[in-house]
Amino acid sequence: MIKLLLADDQALVRGAMAALLDMEADLKVVAEVGRGDEVLAAARDHDIDVALLDVEMPGLDGVAAARELRRALPAVKVLMVTTFGRAGYLRQAMAAGASGFIVKDTPARQLADAVRRVHEGLRVVDPELAAQSLAQGESPLTDRESDVLRAARDGGTVADIARDLRLSEGTVRNHLSSAIGKTGARTRAEAVRLALDNGWLLT
């Protein structure tokens, strides 16, 4: 029996996935959480084999939760199951130690098969996303440019961002200008949107 943990902040989605997976004779959902910062404790408490993680969750995003799991419980396999099929998310998840990445509209039989394959030590990646990831390449943004765009997402002024990130206003302007250029945007709002759409920023 393969013991599973489901982490998704949408209770309805989580419940539906649990019901589908529990119909399989060799799969058993033993833990469900709605926040990323609850994943590690639940994994420890229930001695799970595979964690199915959403990307966008409160507390801790799925990529950070995957990284935490792989560090603390390296025997646990991670399969990302998300609505957000973005190539940038795929790259971040795999770099964090995930063994698979599929989207939520995957048919139930394929989802169950993906869980089994990940449990066996294989990699499972949505083929369309894999192709998109190869075509798109790595994020062009530096870590600091990503930080500045993430801070700019809420519409704060340059002074607000500088204060939040403990940078000078001139440095913030330079990072914003660079990020706008790299994303091909006309404004910082458009740069934020493009970075999010490409999966270069986790929300």
Among candidates 82, 53, 81, 83, which has minimal Cα distance to 68? 53
| CA distances from residue 190 to 11, 119, 152, 153, 169 in whole angstroms, order as listed | 32, 40, 11, 10, 20
- Say how many CA atoms lie within 13 Å of 103 toward its Cβ: 12
- DSSP letters spanning 24-40: STTEEEEEEESSGGGHH
| CA distances from residue 4 to 20, 29, 38, 78, 82 in whole angstroms, order as listed | 12, 5, 14, 10, 16
Strand bridging mode 27-33 / 50-53: unpaired
Question: 183 and 195 in contact (C-beta within 8 Å)?
Answer: yes
H or E segment to which residue 103 belongs: strand 100-103
Q: How far apart are CA 68 and CA 88, in angstroms?
A: 19
Name the pTM for this structure: 0.69
Q: How far apart are CA 70 and CA 29, in angstroms?
A: 20
Domains of the chain (ranges, CATH numbers):
2-135 (3.40.50.2300), 143-197 (1.10.10.10)
- Say how many CA atoms lie within 13 Å of 26 toward its Cβ: 9
Across 14-29, b (16+ Cβ under 10 Å) vs e yields beebbebbeebeebeb
Question: 46 and 3 in contact (C-beta within 8 Å)?
Answer: yes
pLDDT at position 185: 84
Tokens 């801070």 sit on residue: 151
Residues in the chain with pLDDT < 50? 135
Q: How far apart are CA 186 and CA 177, in angstroms?
A: 10
Task: Tell me the per-residue pLDDT of 116-149, one tens digit each, with 9 for 90 and over.
Answer: 999 999 989 876 665 565 545 577 888 899 899 9
pLDDT at position 184: 81
